[in-house]
Structure 1
Amino acid sequence: MLTGTTISGEEPPRGAGSPVAEAVAPDGETGERPAPAPQFSAQLASSPRGARLARRLAVRRMEDWGYPPESDVSCAVALVVGELAANAVRHGRVPGRDFALRLGLDGAAGLVRIEVADAASGKRPPAAPPPSCPEGESGRGLLLVDILAVRWGCEPRHPVGKTVWAEVSTDAVAGAHAVPATCPPPAVAARRRSPGQASV
């Protein structure tokens, strides 16, 4: 269940009344300040439904940022968000506490940063399942994160919990050949709703 959504950093329209101010360079020439990097954040219920919603919201946001659902970048982001959100629900769930999804697009660096924060403390989960459990499901999703992300890690979240983050390249998705052919899955098609329909 989506309990709250914050959208910030959208690129404002240019022209009259635009909040993008003109700056004066040291040499006296004027120029526009760069627009803030696009960002998105949402608090989601720590449940399988919340994890699925995180993935759908990520696909929709990527489409808003110019990456259609069928693009390699959108597919990679959807898969990484899905795995990190599922991990937060499965291993980081604390009764009565939501998990947070944050996305940021850094066009200059060519990266999408994904952060999933939960209320459980802990270290970065291993990328691969333990050798003693070759058929175990645990950890397999993080192998996918390891393939698709340029880098990923885990850091403490204050005052409590942890944030698992990953960065996906917008230029050439590392390991894009490993993305399953079913990407994007039907539930993540992120079709735009008509104005009369309720939002997710």
Structure 2
Amino acid sequence: MESSDTTVVRASQPPPVQHEFALRFTSTPRGARLARRLVSHRLDEWGYGYESPVNESLTLIAAELAANAVQHGQVPGRDFRLRLTATSGILRIEVTDTLTERVPPQSVPEVPGDAESGRGLLLVDRLATRWGTCPRSAGPGKTVWAELTDAAAW
């Protein structure tokens, strides 16, 4: 009789979230500015000092995503939501708005040197390890997210 080794493979669970910050903000320039400042402050509390490359990069990404939610994803009377998580060396920022129709392009085109705007997603693309979009989980809208991996090594 032959014997066989049986290996049980369990579905991998996502690593537990070590830190989380989530808040709704008004879809105004002031709301976007407050979101940026609170991301920087929260990262400092989590051990990524204000002057650290991680804090500076993720704060800039937060500023761009929040500004885009206000400028391109605003629905009158609706807020945007920001969520920041730290999980096993991965920092992730998510900005959710309620406008489904305007989704960022999959690839970010270069902007002419004399253009006055249009570089926000280009900055996100260059600073983040990866970024993307997904439908909003509850109701209409979308979430634009960005991640920095191996944040501890920065």
Same fold (TM over 0.5): yes
Question: Taking structure 1 as reference, are residues 164 and 137 closer, same or farther at Cα in structure 2, changes over 3 Å only?
Answer: farther
Q: Please, which of 142, 145, 151 is the counterpart of residue 162 of structure 1?
A: 142
1:125 Cα shift? 1.2
Q: Percent sequence identity over matched residues?
A: 53
Looking at structure 1, the residues matched to 153 and 86 of structure 2 have their Cα atoms a distance apart, in angstroms, of 15
* 1:150/1:36 CA distance change after superposition, 3 Å: closer
- AA partner of residue 49 (structure 1): R
Retained in 2: the 8 A contact 1:113–1:166? Answer: yes
**Which residue in the other structure is 1:113 paired with?**
92
1:151 and 2:123 aligned: no
- AA matched with 1:145: V
Check the 8 A contact 1:129/1:140 in 2, yes or no: no
1:128 aligns with 2:108: yes
Task: Give deviations 1:13-47, integer Å, cap 9, x for gaps.
Answer: xxxxxxxxxxxxxxxxxxxxx97521000100000
Q: Which runs of 4+ in 1 moved over 6 A?
A: none
| Bigger proportion of residues as helix | 2
Greater shift in the superposed pair: 133-142 or 143-152:
133-142
Q: Deviations over 1:26-81 (max 9, x none)?
A: xxxxxxxx975210001000000000000000001001100110000000110000
> Could you tell me the TM-score, scaled by structure 1's length?
0.63
Structure having greater relative contact order (Cα 8 Å, sep ≥ 6): 2
Matched with 1:88 is 69
Aligned pairs, number: 137
Unaligned runs of 5+ in 2: 1-14
Please give the alpha-carbon distance, in whole angstroms, between the structure 2 residues aligned to 1:139 and 1:68.
Answer: 29
Report the alpha carbon displacement of residue 122 of structure 1 after superposing the two structures with TM.
3.4
Structure 1 position 142 matched with structure 2 position 121: yes
Taking structure 2 as the reference length, the TM-score comes to 0.81
